[in-house]
Amino acid sequence: MSTLKETLFKKIQEHRPRTTKLVKECADVKLGDVTVGQAIGGARGVRCLVTDISYLDPMEGIRFRGMTIPETFAALPKVPGSEYPYVEGFWYLLLTGDVPTMEQTLEVVEDWKQRSAVPEYVIDVLRALPRDSHPMAMFSAAIVAMQRESVFASNYAAGKFNKMTCWEDMYEDANTLMARLGPIGAYIYRMKYKGDTHIAPDPELDMGGQFAHMIGQSDEYKDVARMYFILHSDHESGNVSAHTTHLVASALSDAYYAYSAGINGLAGPLHGLANEEVLRWTQNFMQKLGGEVPTEEGLKEALWATLNSGQVIPGYGHAVLRKTDPRYTSQREFCMNTPGLKDYPLFQLVKMIFEVAPGVLTEHGKAKNPWPNVDAQSGVIQWYYGVTEYEYYTVLFGIGRALGCLANITWDRALGYGIERPKSLTTAMLEEAAGIA
Ligand code: FAM
């Protein structure tokens, strides 16, 4: 058994009595009430999901296993010669809550390498799709195509389902998926945008570095990939991609079905696709100016024009956060500390939007949070390094988001979380409850 799996096993055993006790002795304890507004309004703020992998404080932002983003980056073992940690070590942290040693991290690196070959039939599926399919549709199709390899599904079909040990099958599927998502994403990228030319993996590289290599990027971009995947990994359980993955897995669907579904949710413009929208918006705006540096007034006008046409300002607002997203801040710092990027015109514009948009949104008076989220800042870094195909950006998000979603559904199985099935009411019932029937 690998160190990661052994540690996880111990953690699961330690944790199980806590969940059992809560279910047996405290099941009737109230966590809140549900209002008519919440029932109609996307269950916003309804406290009915449980995860220990990350927690999102509205003012502070995300903590992974109790650690802020800077603390996480500082604590994890770094790739030699790099300022950023191994994604594999972060996976260890998300699953177990422990910061791994370099040796433990390298075990995961090796394990993922063994699992990372993309099967030929997945390539066939990708090639069979019309080349103008959205990269997220391709990514989702590739993931669900691999369902035939699910250890969980095959053991279930063979009558070997055991509530206490089935997390191990989920763990197998989750690791295989994690190992392959980067190479699959790279294949899609090269097939669609780089003349269908492909780059073989380098056996020396870690997951993040390998992705950079396989899309044909520079050495510098290796750290961008590592940073991106970690920053986009998890945002507790209620966001659309994490919740969808959890919901689908709750029917005992395997990791392939569940994460393919999560990817489909991530592809919505109010969720992961917002990073594509941000770049489209800023590029269109810059084009209209014909390369001129925008004035604050011109920018304000453009933001108002977007709002007045009934569209949202992409990259701004959040369902939970009420402050600037620390994932935004982390990427902003990356830009400020990278010579070349710091003075890059597109970054200057993104910075200017940060100065202007919160005021405009506040004056507009609708958004509860006028501050930027992760997506407001992520595209500009990609653009700078030459990844200018912005419809692809959500695939990058999807590779990273898998870390959180798959760690969560492994724990869902370990703790035996039930099939999700909230109750519906009719409109007449709401009217009656509100006394307006
Ligand atoms: N621009 C214009 N209007 C906005 C807005 C924005 N950026 N953010 C919120 N609003 C509006 C919202 O559409 C709603 O209007 P209606 O009452 O007319 O329906 C009103 O303000 C209240 O919404 P809220 O309670 O503040 O936000 P929600 O919790 O309903 O929605 C978001 C949250 C993220 C969907 C919303 O802020 C939004 O559409 N933002 C732009 C898209 C975006 O950046 N999404 C990415 C979010 C990101 F973190 C991620 O998932 N990757």
Query: What is the predicted ipTM?
Result: 0.99
Q: What is the pLDDT of residues 257-273, one digit of tens each?
A: 999 999 999 999 999 99
- Per the listing, tokens 């295989």 go with 176
- For residue 172, tell me if it sits in a domain: yes
Question: Domain containing 170 — which CATH number?
Answer: 1.10.580.10
- For residue 251, tell me if it sits in a domain: yes
Q: For residue 85, what are the β-bridge partners? A: 78
Burial environment of residue 157 by CB neighbours within 10 A (0 to 12, 13 to 18, 19 or more): exposed
At position 418, the amino acid (one-letter code) is G
pLDDT for the residue 286: 86
CA 319 to centroid of ligand 1, rounded, Å: 7
Q: For residue 78, what are the β-bridge partners? A: 85
CA 316 to centroid of ligand 1, rounded, Å: 7
pLDDT for the residue 177: 98
219-225 contacts: CB < 8 A, separation 24 or more? 220/385, 221/385, 222/79, 222/82, 223/82, 223/83, 223/84, 224/334, 224/381, 224/382, 224/385, 225/396
* pLDDT surpassing 90 at residue 18: yes
- For residue 293, tell me if it sits in a domain: no
Q: Whose CA is nearest to atom 17 of ligand 1?
A: 366
Annotated catalytic residue 243: no
- For residue 374, tell me if it sits in a domain: no
Q: What is the pLDDT of residues 348-363, one digit of tens each?
A: 999 999 999 999 999 9
At position 34, the amino acid (one-letter code) is V
Of 330, 432, 347, the closest CA to residue 381 belongs to 347
Ligand 1 site residues (CB inside 6 A) read 44, 239, 270-272, 274, 307, 312-319, 366-369, 373-375
Number of domain units in the chain: 1
Mean pLDDT of 13-25: 98
- For residue 337, tell me if it sits in a domain: no
At position 161, the amino acid (one-letter code) is F
pTM, rounded to two decimals? 0.97
> What does pLDDT average to over the chain?
97
Range of the domain at 256: 102-271+393-414
- For residue 286, tell me if it sits in a domain: no
Q: For residue 55, what are the β-bridge partners? A: 63
Annotated catalytic residue 318: yes
Q: What is the pLDDT of residues 136-180, one digit of tens each?
A: 999 999 999 999 999 999 999 999 999 999 999 999 999 999 999
Virtual torsion, Cα 145, 150, 154, 159, nearest 10 deg: -130
Cα(186)–Cα(413) distance, integer angstroms: 30
Confidence of residue 45 (pLDDT cuts 50, 70, 90): very high
Q: For residue 54, what are the β-bridge partners? A: 64
pLDDT for the residue 294: 87
Confidence of residue 372 (pLDDT cuts 50, 70, 90): very high
Single out the catalytic residue among 246, 271, 325, 412. 271
Contact 360/263 with Cβ under 8 angstroms? no
The continuous run of DSSP H or E covering 36 comes out as helix 36-40
Annotated catalytic residue 52: no
- For residue 338, tell me if it sits in a domain: no
CA 312 to centroid of ligand 1, rounded, Å: 7
* pLDDT surpassing 80 at residue 293: no
Q: What is the pLDDT of residues 315-350, one digit of tens each?
A: 999 999 999 999 999 999 999 999 999 999 999 999
